[in-house]
Amino acid sequence: MTEPELELTVVLVNYNGADCLPGSLRAIAQNTATDSVEGVVVDSGSSDGSWRDVSSHWDRARAIRVEENIGFCAGCNRGAEAARGRLVAFVNFDSYVEPAWDEPLRQLLEDESVSIATGLMLSEDGVTLESAGVSLAPSMAAFGRQMGMPRSAAPAEPVDVTAATGALMMVRRAEFLALGGFYEPIFMYGEEADYCLRVDGRIVLHPASASRHEFGHASGPHQSAFRLYWLSRNRLLNAARHLSGAALVRSVAASGAFDLLTLVQTRNREALGAVARGWRDGARVMRRERSARTATERREATRHVSSFREALAEQRRLGRLGFARRAPNRT
C-alpha cells in the first residue's frame, strides 16, 4: 500500500554531525508548525555514528545511510527522492530553525508563480544576518544579501531575490525532481545558484522564516583548503553553464582576481594548492558545461548577476579589501 502524501518533508544532509545534528533535529521537532511533516537525514559517509538513532531527537525523522561522502547536492537529491511530502525543505544539519519557520514558506508556495521560498540565515545568537537571500557576483560567487548587518535591517515584508540559500529553502517536490534537483557534479557550494538560475518562477524571501547557523561544521574554517577548492572550481563551472560570452570572460577574470586576493590574505601553500586544483578541474569541465543551457537561457541568467561596482561595494562594506589600503605601508 502506498503511504499517504504529507505536506512537508525536511531534508538534512549530515556529515559527521554528532555535535550539531541532534540540536538541529530537536529545533525542527519543536518549531515546525505543520503536523503533516517528516524528516529525512541523508548521511553522507559519516564516521562518527551521528546518523544512528535520529528518531530519538525527532520521532518523525529517519536516516538514509550512504557509505561514502556523496556531497550536498547528491545528498539533497536522495532525500527528495525518498520524501513523502508535497513540499521539500532543505535545512542545514548545523542550523537551528526558529518557531514556525515553515509556515511563511509554505504560504509563499501557495502562489504558483513562486518556485522557491527561503528565509533569513542568522548568526548563532540570532542577532546578525548571514543572508537575507543570495546575490551573485560577476565571478559567480554566491554571497548573502545584507551579510553582517543587524537582524533589524532585514526586509519587513517578503521580497524577490536572485537566489535562495541551500541552507534554508523550500520547493515543490515534483518540480524539484522534474528539474533534476541540484546538479550533482557541483558536489557542494554553488548548487543553489545553479538551481535558482534554472527555475522558471520567482524566488522569494520571507523574513518571518529564519534559521540560526553554526558555521563550519561541514567543511571547516572560512578559508579551509576544502572550501577553497570547491568554490574556485564551481565558480568556473557555473560561469560556463549560465553566462553569455562576454559575461563569461569577465567572470573568469573576476574569479581569478578574487582567488588572488584570497591567496594574498591567507599566504599559505595549502591554500595555493587548493585554488590551483580548483582552477585545473574547473577549466576541464567548462567546455562540457557550455552546452548545458541555450544562448537565450544564458542571456537571461546573465541579467541576474550583480555588477562589478555592486560586488566591490559589498566587499568594501565587509572589510575584505583592506589589504589594498595597507599595501603602500609595506616595505
Kindly compute the dihedral angle of the four CA atoms of residues 138, 92, 320, 135, in this order, to the nearest 10 degrees: 30
Neighbouring residues of 304: CB distance < 8 A, sequence distance ≥ 6: 136, 162, 163, 197
Q: Which stretch of DSSP H or E encloses residue 219? A: none
Tell whether the model's pLDDT for residue 179 goes beyond 80: yes
Burial (CB count within 10 angstroms: exposed 0-12, middle 13-18, buried 19+), residue 152 = exposed
Rounded Cα distance, 260 and 265, in Å: 9
Answer whether 212's CB lies under 8 Å from 98's CB. yes
Kindly compute the dihedral angle of the four CA atoms of residues 11, 15, 21, 24, in this order, to the nearest 10 degrees: -40
Neighbouring residues of 7: CB distance < 8 A, sequence distance ≥ 6: 34, 36, 37, 85, 86, 87, 106
* Distances, alpha carbon 277 to alpha carbons 61, 122, 232, in Å: 38, 32, 9
In the chain, what's the furthest Cα-to-Cα distance?
A: 75
Query: What are residue 120's phi and psi, to 5 degrees?
Result: -75, 140
pLDDT tens per residue, range 226-264: 999 999 999 999 999 999 999 999 999 999 998 998 899
Query: 190 or 308, which is more confident?
Result: 190
* Residue 165: closest CA among 188, 184, 187, 139: 188
Answer whether 36's CB lies under 8 Å from 6's CB. yes
Rounded Cα distance, 36 and 142, in Å: 33
Q: Cell 554571497 appears where?
A: 143
What average pLDDT does this structure show over 152-158?
A: 97
pLDDT tens per residue, range 49-98: 999 999 999 999 999 999 999 999 999 999 999 999 999 999 999 999 99
Task: Name the pLDDT band for 180 (thresholds 50, 70, 90).
Answer: very high
Of the chain, the percentage scoring pLDDT greater than 70 comes to: 94
Structural domains present in the chain = 7-213 (3.90.550.10), 225-329 (no CATH)
Tell whether the model's pLDDT for residue 1 goes beyond 60: no
How many C-beta atoms surround the C-beta of residue 310 within 10 A? 13
Query: 221 or 15, which is more confident?
Result: 15
Rounded Cα distance, 51 and 21, in Å: 9
* Residue 184: closest CA among 289, 266, 72: 72
- For residue 184, give the C-alpha cell: 550533482
Query: What are residue 47's phi and psi, to 5 degrees?
Result: -115, 5
